[in-house]
């Protein structure tokens, strides 16, 4: 269990003002653009710092955390992970085990357990963790899936996070990171490892979300290009029109428009 006081560099008696001050100070130092660490390590440090701040800046979460920290510290022989692992039938505890493992360097075990539980009909991680823990846990799982090149699984989790963020903001200004991850998966990774049918479904699913218009325009253009390759010229024209509706200056449309039989396309 990480010691969030040590992560933030504050005493256990620190005031909220001190916690907030240290969070902002450390966030500037750990930002991937200024950190001396690799981007991956810097992002992991930043993620842990954010989790620590969310726990210690919330009075109820802090009381619960202090109680849990005290309990674990006083019971030296008690192994929290072993306890969670000893209760395989308890889905709430197994969900906590996923979060515990992904936070404490047991990523492979966390992914394996998550996938095992997801195979059970009706299982959803968000049912067994509070909202904040679910959002943090799901982000870390998606990040690990991405790192292990399981891009579809990463995409589906990041998309779910983005949908939840729209309904009930949690990451706030950090939500741009989710958009960047989805954008990277769509533009650089997924097209090369999925069938055209699956890739179309993933692209179309993004159009239902509140992405910036410039991103929706790019998604529509990609859909049009795939339909063009498949010989579906009418669908290609439909999506290229949608793309130009979102962005009248969408680049790279002239050659495609000629290919699908429209010399000029007006949004």
Contact 228, 222 (CB under 8 A): no
Q: What mean pLDDT is reported for the chain?
A: 88
pLDDT band at 267 (very low <50, low <70, confident <90, very high): very low
Higher pLDDT, 33 or 60: 60
Give me the residue label for tokens 């095992």: 116
Q: Torsion over CA of 14, 20, 22 and 26, rounded to 10 degrees?
A: 150
- The tens digit of pLDDT for each residue in 62-76 reads 998 998 888 776 554
Strand, coil or helix: 247:
coil
pTM (two decimals): 0.67
Domains of the chain: 194-267 (1.25.40)
Residue 46, CA distances (Å) to 17, 26, 123, 161, 251 in order:
20, 9, 30, 18, 35
């Amino acid at each position: 269990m990480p010691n969030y006081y040590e992560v933030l560099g504050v005493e256990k008696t620190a005031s909220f003002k001190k916690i907030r001050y240290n969070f902002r100070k450390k966030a500037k130092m750990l930002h991937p653009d200024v950190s001396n660490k690799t981007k991956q390590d810097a992002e992991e440090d930043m993620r842990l710092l954010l989790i620590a701040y969310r726990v210690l800046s919330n009075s109820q979460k802090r009381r619960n955390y202090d109680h849990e920290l005290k309990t674990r510290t006083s019971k030296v022989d008690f192994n929290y992970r072993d306890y969670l692992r000893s209760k395989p039938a308890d889905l709430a505890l197994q969900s906590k085990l996923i979060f515990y493992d992904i936070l404490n360097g047991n990523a492979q075990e966390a992914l394996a357990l998550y996938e095992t539980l997801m195979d059970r009909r009706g299982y959803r991680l968000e049912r067994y963790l509070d909202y904040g823990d679910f959002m943090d846990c799901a982000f870390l799982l998606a990040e690990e899936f991405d790192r292990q090149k399981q891009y579809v699984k990463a995409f589906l989790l990041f998309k779910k996070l983005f949908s939840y963020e729209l309904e009930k903001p949690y990451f706030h200004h950090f939500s741009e990171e989710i958009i960047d991850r989805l954008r990277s998966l769509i533009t650089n990774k997924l097209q090369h490892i999925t069938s055209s049918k699956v890739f179309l479904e993933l692209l179309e699913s993004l159009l239902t979300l509140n992405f910036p218009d410039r991103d929706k325009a790019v998604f529509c253009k990609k859909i049009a290009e795939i339909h063009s390759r498949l010989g579906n010229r009418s669908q290609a024209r439909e999506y290229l029109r949608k793309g130009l509706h979102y962005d009248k200056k969408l680049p790279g449309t002239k050659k495609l428009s000629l290919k699908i039989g429209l010399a000029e396309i007006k949004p």
